[in-house]
Amino acid sequence: MAMTRKQQRGAMIGAGLGALGLAAGLVLYALSDTITFFYTPTDVVEKGVQPGTRFRLGGLVADGSVVRGQGEVVSFKVTDTKDTMPVTYVGILPDLFREGQGVIAEGTLDEGGNFKADTVLAKHDENYMPREIADALKKQGRWKEGEKKPEGTTK
Amino acid sequence: MIPEIGQFAVILAFITALYQFAVPMYGAWRNDSRLMAVAAPAAGLQFVLIALAFACLTWSYLSSDFSVENVFRNSHSAKPLIYKISGVWGNHEGSMLLWVGMLAGFGAAVAVFGGNLPASLKARVIAVQGSISVAFLSFILLTSNPFARLDPAPIEGRGLNPILQDPALAIHPPLLYAGYVGLSIAFSFAVAALIEGKVDAAWARWVRPWTLAAWMFLTAGIMLGSWWAYYELGWGGWWFWDPVENASFMPWLVAGALLHSAIVVEKRNALKAWTILLAILAFSLSLVGTFLVRSGVLTSVHAFAVDPARGVYVLGILCVFIGGSLSLYAWRAPTIKAGGLFAPISREGALVLNNLLLTAACASVFIGTLYPLLLESITGAKISVGPPYFNLTFGPLVVPLLLLVPVGPLMSWKRADLFAAMQRLWVAAVAALVVGIAAMAWQWRGPWLAPFGVALGAWLVAASAREMIARTKVGSAPFNVAWARFKGLPGAAWGMMLAHAGVGVLVIGVVAITSWKEEIVTVMKPGEVMQVGGKSVTYLGESPVTGPNYTADRARFQVSSGGKPVSEIWSEKRVFQPSNQPTTEVGIEPFLSGDVYVVIGDRAGENGRTVRSYFHPLVWMIWFGGALMFIGGACSMFDRRYRVGAPKKAAKPVVQPAE
């Protein structure tokens, strides 16, 4: 059954639309289901984030808050200098995880307002602060472009 | 003095590129052969000038000339030689110089190897290539001068980020750039063909080897980057769906589609307009990748500096080239004559499906990569799109593609008998089924999808093996006949079999590490033993060591298999000078069944160390699959029909050197 040129073009357009539709459907479904929001501790309070919701928490590791507990458990506090949130994490922290430095933790909030992180990201090198954190701090007027370190934190 | 020579060479290269763009383009329009003839020498001169500039910058690094700001920021006199060299492109300015150097190199290669191209097509291709150089050389001159001086000159440099001080990463950027920029040739050919209004089999035969080369470089660059992330970052992962990784993955997917559609243009003179579009899209995605990585909209190890002016400039280049080429396409594509007809069930049909699935998969990656940026710029909400998104979108689009890979090559052109093709594949199907069942028996507690994934990979490998056996008649014909057929198989056939088998091997490796990875985090004291992946790992203790530009604590581990000690591996916590930046080195012991992977964390209590150890089953198959794809690409490239000026096959068999 030879196809005419018109039929062939129709079949190709049909197949193209089919693939596009499949991709669009998958993308829409996945976007509604799998994305993770980024919040600072202040956002968490203001937006009333519910326990069990998965999100990324960003801010600075509060000074003097890192406690290495039994075995592999580490707890610390993340602050955006306005609000502060306790975090627990089981595992090995990144090399550049330090008090007074930027951090992003991904996980969920438990009933007691404690953030259980399963991933902790720090920066890649000494000169870099995660952009989300820099923006969040800038928004609150705590940190200006070009300053070495945000106010209110010491190394 | 030397840096000034470099600076001057960049300015001259810019002027040459302008000339290379304007004169041959005008000449081709006026059909003036003298004007068209300047294209090739201009392309060669431009390349020589940028190579000179690059040599000047390299000299500044080697001689640790800290009066050059770029050297001061990214080098240090105590750095090992190889990292002084790789430091040249381990920063924004130097890497852009490398980028345009490669661009000019590809242009010069067309000038040298394009002897058999029609004069007007050659002039236009080189002119378009020159226009890309104009854009990026002006970018360097206006926003990213690698030769800027400091006065007074500092005594010592700041050093290169220690995690970049690694052999794999020294060659990862040049390879990846060669891939990105190599696609510019396909782009220039596409734009030139649109201007000419002519696309034929010969056009496809010229474009395909360049695309193959770019695709091979991208494959190697991505694989090296992934390997580096695996052993250097210490998270035990090999792919993170990080936007920067996606930036290189998207052009790779489209280049893969382009490789396949160019075959249809060459053999059947069909899918011409579509192939032109893919060529434009492939390089556009390279530009998008360059924008994402270079503009600072993403923060990562690749974003060397955040300077809004640069981002805006690259965005401008992006708009001009992508917008311009797509407009030209919309205007000129309807003039390209449609080619041969084919039934839906045919090799053309299979290749169309391949293209649709690859581009749809690429689109899903594109949306996942750019959606967060878009959403943030519109609503201010910050989100991250991670592996779950990509597993849910990319995965389902790729599975049917993988199922079809073995079937396509067995279909005939124009109209095919699907049933006959499937009949020839039943052995491969049985083999895949057996492997799937074996996987289920071996690791029955894993996710149910895993054995299916392994079977899918085995399906590709088995089909390639079947193809090889069927074509050489190994086992059914006498040895010397089979050997002669083996040697006589065209490079393209080897390329297809190896690359498809490579995809299968890669899939098995990916499924194995994703489904059956073991991870243990525990505090260990010297003498303690832990079990991972059926191997025992004994912590022997730690001692201080000193490297050329760092000091470290080295923790040693004894790996034993079946009660017998196999080897000693170590993981280190290093502190680099002068930046005081800490890094962690991973200890890896490879087995055929997988890698034992040990990373140390902080000290815990007296004598104790937090230790994270993994077993990564069959992880070697990921890199091995990538290597097979690369080798397959090379075989296909050396197919005799692409050989420059390849003479017609001699009437009498002559002795030929091994290919």
Q: What is the tens place of the pLDDT at every residue in B223-250? A: 998 998 888 877 778 888 888 889 999 9
What's the pLDDT score for residue B158?
81
B210 and B314 co-located in one domain: yes
Does the beta carbon of B481 lie under 8 angstroms from any beta carbon of chain A?
Answer: no
ipTM of this complex > 0.85?
A: no
Mean pLDDT of B540-564: 90
In a domain, A119, yes or no: yes
Between B299, B343, B360, which is nearest A128 by CB? B299
Query: Cβ–Cβ of A35/B583 closer than 8 Å?
Result: no
In a domain, A154, yes or no: no
CA distance B77 to chain A (A): 20
Pair A120, A56 in one domain: yes
In a domain, B236, yes or no: yes
Residues B471, B327 share a domain: no
Q: Are residues B396 and B479 in the same domain?
A: no
The CA distance from A100 to A126, in Å, is 13
Q: CATH number, domain at A54?
A: 2.40.50.140
Check CB contact under 8 Å for A124 and B161.
yes
pLDDT of residue A146: 42
Domain holding B77: CATH number?
1.20.120
| Cα pseudo-dihedral B399, B404, B406, B407, rounded to 10 | 160
Same domain, A76 and A12: no
Whether A1 has a pLDDT exceeding 60, the answer reads: no
Q: Do both A25 and A54 map to the same domain?
A: no
Mutate to test the interface with B, among A4, A33, A95 (most CBs of B within 10 A): A95
pLDDT (mean) for B199-207? 88
Looking at B515, B530, B553, the residue that finishes a domain is B515
Is B532 found in the same domain as B511? no
Distance from CA of A71 to the nearest CA of B (A): 6
| Distance from the B86 Cα atom to the nearest Cα atom in chain A, whole angstroms | 18
Closest C-alpha to B372, from B291, B286, B292: B292
Which pLDDT band holds residue B122 (cuts at 50, 70, 90)?
very high
Residue B659 has pLDDT above 60, yes or no: no
Q: Tell me, yes or no, whether B203 and B132 share the same domain.
A: no
Residue to mutate among A55, A124, A132, A139, with most B CBs inside 10 A, is A124
The verdict on B505 and B532 lying in the same domain is no
**Cβ contact, residue pair A125, B301, below 8 Å:** yes
For residues B95 and B400, give the distance between their C-alpha atoms in angstroms, rounded to a whole number. Answer: 38
pLDDT of B303 reads: 45
Look at the pTM and tell me if it is higher than 0.80.
yes
B163 HSE (CA, 13 A, CB side): 24
| CB-CB under 8 Å, B353 with A72 | no
Tell me the shortest Cα–Cα distance from A40 to chain B, in angstroms: 10
β pairing state of A54-61 and A36-39 = parallel
| Closest of B507, B418, B421 to residue B456, by C-alpha | B507
Cβ contact, residue pair B382, A19, below 8 Å: no
- Substitution target in A72, A80, A121, A139 with the highest count of B β-carbons within 10 Å is A72
| Low-confidence winner among A16-25, B202-211, B577-586 (lowest mean pLDDT) | B577-586
Instruction: Decide if A35 and B383 are in contact by the 8 Å CB cutoff.
Output: yes
B396 — contact with chain A (CB < 8 Å)?
A: yes
Full residue range of the structural domain in which residue B141 is found:
1-162
Our measurement of the distance from residue B530's CA atom to the centroid of its chain's CA atoms, rounded to an integer in Å, reads 37
Instruction: Flag whether residue B360 sits within 8 Å of chain A, measured between CB atoms.
Output: yes
Interface of B with A in 487-546 (CB under 8 A): 521-523
Q: Give yes or no for a cis peptide into B578 (omega within 30° of 0).
A: yes
Does residue B385 belong to the interface with chain A, where contact is any CB pair within 8 Å? yes
Q: Which of B76, B241, B299 to mutate to test the interface with A (most CBs of A within 10 A)?
A: B299
Residues 6+ apart with CB under 8 A from A39: A47, A49, A55, A56, A57, A58
Q: Is there a single domain that holds both residue B109 and residue B192? A: no
> Which of A8, A26, A72 minimises the CB distance to B364?
A26
Q: Write down which residue in B401, B424, B443 finishes a domain.
A: B401
Stretch among A41-45, B100-104, B109-113, B620-624 having the lowest mean pLDDT: A41-45
Size of interface A-B (CB pairs under 8 A): 131
pLDDT over 60 (residue B647): no
| Cα B529 → chain centroid | 40
CB contact under 8 A, A1 and B343: yes
Contact A27 B368 (CB under 8 A): yes
**Structural domain ending residue among the three candidates B92, B127, B162:** B162
Q: Are A21 and A91 part of one and the same domain?
A: no
Give domain status of residue A57, yes or no.
yes
pLDDT tens sequence across B252-300:
999 999 999 999 998 888 889 999 999 999 999 999 988 887 766 665 4
* Phi (first) and psi of residue A150, to 5 degrees: -65, 150
Predicted pLDDT of residue B404: 93
Task: With beta carbons under 8 A apart, name residues in chain B contacting A33.
Answer: 388, 392
Q: What is the domain count for chain A?
A: 2
Looking at the structure, do residues B419 and B305 belong to the same domain, yes or no?
Answer: no
Give domain status of residue A94, yes or no. Answer: yes
Contact assignment for A125 to B581 by CB distance below 8 Å: yes
Q: Determine the distance in angstroms separating the CA of B113 from the nearest CA of chain A, rounded to an integer.
A: 36
Per the document, the length of chain A is 155
B377 in contact with A, Cβ within 8 Å: no
CB contact under 8 A, B383 and A11: no
A-chain CB neighbours of B261 within 8 Å are: none
Hey, what are B244's tokens?
Answer: 């920067």
pLDDT at A52 > cutoff 70: yes
Cβ–Cβ contact A119 with B under 8 A: no
CB contact under 8 A, B356 and A19: yes
- A146, part of any domain: no
Is A78 found in the same domain as A27?
no
Task: Check pLDDT > 90 for residue B26.
Answer: yes
- Taking the Cβ of residue A131 and every Cβ of chain B, the question of whether any pair is shorter than 8 Å is answered with yes
For residue B439, count CB atoms less than 10 angstroms from its CB and return exposed for 0-12, middle for 13-18, buried for 19 or more: buried
A26: containing domain: 1-35
Residues B186 and B290 in one domain: yes
Is B647 domain-assigned?
Answer: no
Query: Is residue B443 included in any domain, yes or no?
Result: yes
Residues A20 and A50 in one domain: no
pLDDT band at B494; cut points 50, 70, 90: very high
Same-domain check for residues B210 and B328: yes
CB burial of B218-237 (b: ≥16 within 10 Å; e: otherwise) equals: bbbbbbbbbbbbbbbbbbbb
Are B383 and A71 within 8 A, CB to CB? no
CA B268 remoteness from chain centre = 29
Per-residue model confidence as pLDDT tens digits over B597-637 = 999 988 877 788 889 899 999 999 999 999 999 999 999 99
Helix then strand then coil, in percent of chain B rounded to 5, is 65, 10, 25
Does residue A42 lie in a domain region? Answer: yes
Q: Are residues A1 and A48 in the same domain?
A: no
Say if residue A58 is in the same domain as residue A125: yes
Residues B335 and B455 in one domain: no
- Distance between CA atoms of B511 and B646, rounded to whole angstroms? 43
* Whether residue A56 is found in the same domain as residue A125: yes
My answer on whether A102 and A62 are in the same domain is yes
Helix (H, G, I), strand (E, B) or coil at A139: helix
* Same domain membership, residue A86 and residue A110: yes
Nearest Cβ partner for A30 among B301, B383, B392: B392
- pLDDT per position as a tens digit, B398-445: 999 999 999 989 988 888 888 888 888 999 999 999 999 998 887 766
Residues B413 and B280 in one domain: no
Whether the per-residue pLDDT at A139 is higher than 90: the answer is no
Distance of CA B304 to the CA centre of its chain: 20
| Residue A22 included in any domain | yes
Q: Is residue A144 part of a domain?
A: no
- Spacing of C-alpha B603 from chain mean position: 39
Q: Report CB contact under 8 Å: A95, B383.
A: no
Same domain as A57, residue A15: no
| Residue B306 banded pLDDT, cuts 50, 70, 90 | low
pLDDT at residue A154, rounded to an integer: 28
The total number of structural domains in chain B stands at: 4
Supply the pLDDT for residue B91.
85
Give the CA-trace dihedral at B531, B532, B537, B538, to 10 degrees.
Answer: -40
Average pLDDT, chain B: 88
Q: How far apart are CA B533 and CA B515, in angstroms?
A: 13
Do you find a cis peptide bond into B152, omega within 30 degrees of 0? yes
Residue B163: the pLDDT is 73
CB half-sphere exposure, B629, CA atoms < 13 A: 29
- What type of residue sits at position A148? K
Whether the CB of A31 is below 8 Å from some CB of chain B: the reply is yes
| Tens-digit pLDDT profile for residues B138-179 | 999 998 899 999 888 888 888 777 777 788 778 888 999 999
